[in-house]
Homo-oligomer: A and B are copies of this chain.
Amino acid sequence: MEKPAITDKNIHPLIKSRWSPRSFDSRPVEADKLQRIFDAARWAPSSFNEQPWRFMVGIKGDETWDNIYDSLLEWNQQWAKTAPVLVMAIGSTHYAKTHKESDIFKYDVGQSIAYLTIQTMEEGLMMHQMGGFSKKKAIEHFGIPADFMPLTVSALGYQAAPEQLPKEFAELEHKERSRMALDELVFSGRFGQASALAR
Contacts and interface: CB of A to CB of B under 8 A. Distances in A.
Given A119-B15, A198-B38, A191 B148 contact: yes
Contacts of A53: 185
Given A57-B187, A108-B110, A122-B12, A197 B62 contact: no
Contacts of A115: 15, 114
A197 B111 contact: no
Q: SS class of chain A's interface: helix, strand, loop or mixed?
A: mixed
Contacts of A20: 45
A113 B104 CA distance: 13
A182 interface: yes
Given A119-B11, A197-B34, A198-B38, A186 B109 contact: no
B31 A10 contact: no
B39 A188 contact: no
**Which residue, of A64, A106, A113, A145, has the highest number of chain B Cβ atoms within 10 A?**
A106
A185 B122 contact: no
Contacts of A11: 36, 39-40, 43, 119
The 10 closest A-B CB pairs, nearest first, are A110-B110, A114-B114, A107-B110, A106-B106, A106-B107, A111-B114, A5-B43, A9-B39, A110-B111, A142-B191
